[in-house]
């Protein structure tokens, strides 16, 4: 039957791609390079123009399907990030990390938006950049990816200052929701569903941020209460099912109520894993596989829905944005980390540790799946910036840390 043939083809193709992605990620770890780089290349080289239903005339993975997978993948990745965050170790760097994640992300988005408007062009045909598309580009590129940074710094594990690595991880955890909220507002403005006045935009961002934080805290607290004292629910066969069910319930309810589901997912994981009686190791073990699969699927999806020639066509703009990001990152780190206790070598390292990863990719896919006229140009642009960061910036992190004298610190 056609449906069975379609399902069989999907299982075969995505099973094979996921298996190859796992092998590439393992090989990258042995070669001390970011696994997402090889997975992105795999997606780009894979053929998406496969008709799952003979005569149907459809692609293997549509933009709408890729967007749905990307949003779910981000939820799983951020929830796992919350589970692995040790609140006690993060507390000393909370203030500087929050400044970088909130004020720093907002300034990055606004400065990049100003650059796009000032240059007066984008790789989207003859379309002049409006405030909405410029804001989206800034929002898409304003968040950092700690997992990519930590993977590249793995050769120096245990030899870098703990306060430095805690700041990098904490900033990345908090700035993702800021990027998502600003990008959502940009898409709403472009679709005519949101007013373009500054006060209303700021109010909407604060409301979604606070509501997501509140629901995430409440959801994590309720989940902790449910699991504590019920040994049967914390056994290995049951814990992944119970925690996933609670996560999906929380994320769905937060989205329906108008909060930030990604912030809610991260805070729920943070609260759940840092409870007085919580066994973080059991929770982390239960969700590590989910998070890894989600991350690999996210990068595979981007590679599948983006054509390599479109990436090449957007490469010039990607270089301009990448260079602008480095300058903006340096300015923001120097200004916001004044009197924070971080010496100049540490600030230089924090500047170069601002790699982009999963969030720009997920936001770019969301824009491409939306009806806005410039949405299709975002995935190749995001992919170009991420690849440039991994190739030009990422591989310099370990030599830079050693040259700055940070690798020998306790």
Per-residue pLDDT of the chain (410 residues; tens, 9 = 90+): 444 566 777 788 788 888 888 888 888 777 777 777 788 888 777 766 665 555 554 567 778 888 888 888 888 888 888 888 777 778 888 889 889 988 999 999 999 998 888 877 665 544 456 788 888 999 999 988 877 787 777 777 778 888 888 888 888 877 887 888 888 888 888 876 544 455 666 677 678 878 988 999 999 988 888 877 677 776 777 878 888 899 999 999 999 998 888 889 988 988 888 875 556 777 788 888 888 888 888 888 877 888 888 888 888 889 999 999 999 999 999 999 988 888 899 999 999 888 888 888 889 988 988 888 888 889 889 988 988 888 888 788 888 888 888 876 44
95-100: which pairs have CB atoms within 8 A and are 24 or more residues apart? 95/340, 96/167, 96/336, 96/337, 96/340, 96/341, 96/342, 97/166, 97/167, 97/170, 97/171, 97/174, 98/170, 98/174, 99/336, 99/337, 100/167, 100/171, 100/175, 100/332, 100/333, 100/336, 100/337, 100/350
The distance between the two most distant Cα atoms of the chain, rounded to a whole number of Å, is 68
Which residues, 6+ apart, have CB-to-CB distance to 89 below 8 Å?
Answer: 162, 166
Q: How many other CB atoms are there within 10 angstroms of residue 27's CB atom?
A: 12
Please classify residue 110 by burial: count the beta carbons closer than 10 Å to its beta carbon, then call 0-12 exposed, 13-18 middle and 19+ buried. middle
The per-residue DSSP string of 146-203 comes to: HHHHHHHTGGGTTTS-HHHHHHHHHHHHHHHHHHHHHHHHHHHHHHT-S---HHHHHH
pLDDT digits (tens, 9 = 90+) for 131-151: 888 889 999 999 888 777 877
Domains present along the chain, CATH in parentheses? 2-49+57-403 (1.20.1530.20)
Task: Give Cα separations from 53 to 43, 162, 213, 388 (angstroms).
Answer: 21, 53, 43, 37
pLDDT digits (tens, 9 = 90+) for 264-288: 998 898 888 887 555 677 778 888 8
> Which structure tokens are listed for 32?
């001390």
- The interaxial angle of helices 198-227 and 261-273, nearest 10 deg, is 30
| DSSP three-state, residue 312 | helix
**Sole residue written with tokens 């998406």:** 48
């Amino acid at each position: 039957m056609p449906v069975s043939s379609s399902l069989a083809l999907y299982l075969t193709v995505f099973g094979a791609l996921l298996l190859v992605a796992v092998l590439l990620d393992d090989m990258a770890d042995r070669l001390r390079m970011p696994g997402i780089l090889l997975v992105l290349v795999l997606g780009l080289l894979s053929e998406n123009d496969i008709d799952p239903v003979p005569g149907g005339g459809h692609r293997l993975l549509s933009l709408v399907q890729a967007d749905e997978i990307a949003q779910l993948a981000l939820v799983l990745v951020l929830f796992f990030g919350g589970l692995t965050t040790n609140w006690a170790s993060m507390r000393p760097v909370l203030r500087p990390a929050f400044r970088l994640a909130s004020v720093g992300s907002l300034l990055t988005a606004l400065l990049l938006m100003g650059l796009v408007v000032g240059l007066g062009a984008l790789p989207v045909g003859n379309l002049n950049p409006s405030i909405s598309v410029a804001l989206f580009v800034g929002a898409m590129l304003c968040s950092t990816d700690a997992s990519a940074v930590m993977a590249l710094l793995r050769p120096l594990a245990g030899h870098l200052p703990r306060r430095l690595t805690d700041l990098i991880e904490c900033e990345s955890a908090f700035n993702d929701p800021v990027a998502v909220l600003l990008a959502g507002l940009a898409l709403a403005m472009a679709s005519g569903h949101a007013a373009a006045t500054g006060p209303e935009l700021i109010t909407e961002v604060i409301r979604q941020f606070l509501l997501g934080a509140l629901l995430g805290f409440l959801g994590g607290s309720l989940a902790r209460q449910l699991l504590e004292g019920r040994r049967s629910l914390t056994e290995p066969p049951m814990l992944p099912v119970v925690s996933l069910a609670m996560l999906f319930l929380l994320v769905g309810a937060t989205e329906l109520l108008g909060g930030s589901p990604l912030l809610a997912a991260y805070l729920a994981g943070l609260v759940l894993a840092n409870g007085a009686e919580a066994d973080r190791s059991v929770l982390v073990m239960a969700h590590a596989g989910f998070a890894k699969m989600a991350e690999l699927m996210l990068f595979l999806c981007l590679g599948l829905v983006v054509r390599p020639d479109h990436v090449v066509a957007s490469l010039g703009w990607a270089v301009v944005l990448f260079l602008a990001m480095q300058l903006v990152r340096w300015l923001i780190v120097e200004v916001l980390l004044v009197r924070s206790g971080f010496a100049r070598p540490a600030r230089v390292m924090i500047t170069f540790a601002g790699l982009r990863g999963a969030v720009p990719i997920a936001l770019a896919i969301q824009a491409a799946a939306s009806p806005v006229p410039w949405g299709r140009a975002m995935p190749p642009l995001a992919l170009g910036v991420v690849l440039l960061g991994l190739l030009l910036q990422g591989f310099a992190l370990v030599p830079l840390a050693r040259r700055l004298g940070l690798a020998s610190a306790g």
